[in-house]
Structure 1
Amino acid sequence: RNLAIFCIALFSLGEWLALPGALNGWLALAAAAAVFNLLNDWHIGRALLERWALMLYSVYWLMALGYAALGVALLFGEISTSAGRHLLTVGAMGVSILAVLCIAGRTHSGYALDTRRWVPVATLSLVLAALLRAGSGLPGMPAQAMILLAGLGWLGAFILACRYLGPVWLRPRPDGGLGCEEPLDEHTAGSGCRT
């Protein structure tokens, strides 16, 4: 984990200092390799297939693929750096934000985690949006259609989040808790899943 943080920081510094493309390319590939190595910690069997673990696992995959795409683009120039940047922003950052909204947003509002299907649908929508947007720059691809579908996927994911999380945030906590406390009453907290 520390190596991944170091490599990502080094690549970010190289970008900020506008170091030569080849050097930044190797730094991006080092960041990708370090993040891919982090994925080894996640291979724990069936527990990985649980929605919350899988959601967070996809963040690391999108990060690793994003840095790998940036590295290849900077070293070989065959693809645009846009592909890697979209995997990092639309994908990794988008799924991370959605995860925080779904996990912390509900529990700090006094509700248990939401077990309805919209959560994996929204997550998958963001992952597909990132992959479509990244792939739109490849030669021979229908770029405009892929960009449109990626935009609709991103928009759809956060519309679902607003639809199902907005009411939770706008009403009083069902357990009488204050601020960012965890749900105080499991029975009351669980009732939020049916709203």
Structure 2
Amino acid sequence: MAEVVLFHHAQGLTPGVAAFADELRAAGHTVHTPDLFEGRTFGSLEEGLGHVERIGFGELTERGVRAADPLPRDAVYVGFSLGVLPAQKLAQTRAGARGALLVHSCIPVSEFGAAWPDEVPVQVHAMEADPFFAEDADAAHALVSERADAELFLYPGDRHLFADSSLPDYDQDAAGLLTRRAVDFLSART
């Protein structure tokens, strides 16, 4: 059983993010889902990003770091889109990290300091024609090219939040495959 810290995307801690966490729990893992928006959810990505711009991306990242502070250090950090910011920062900078699953996004490793830690395996998952991921593709390819224990999984399609079953972008086939890969990844971290 792995300890998992799962950070939501810009629309908040939606029922679809909670459902993904429940699938990981059903596979035997302990999953924490910090709510970085204090209960608020948004009907569109644009509304959610507007909220994040008012908060500030740095503050949102630090909210994630503070939320993880009382949790076990030997965790796997998972981020959906915007949630990749705190997940990736924690995976790169918090001692004891067991792995990272970066879903819908990937930040250049240089954003959080030094090279990716040797002991932290990582997977990046996105749709191949997602216009939002297009901005992150170079960072994902660079990370994977530099690390033997890094994998990039590209799914057919152009949807961004394809793993959130409560949103219109949901793609059941891609989400199912992502979930299986995530469960396998977590099982290897126990």
Q: TM-score range by the shorter chain?
A: under 0.3
What is the TM-score with the length of structure 1 in the denominator?
0.25
What is the TM-score with the length of structure 2 in the denominator?
0.26
- In terms of fraction of residues, the more strand-rich structure is 2
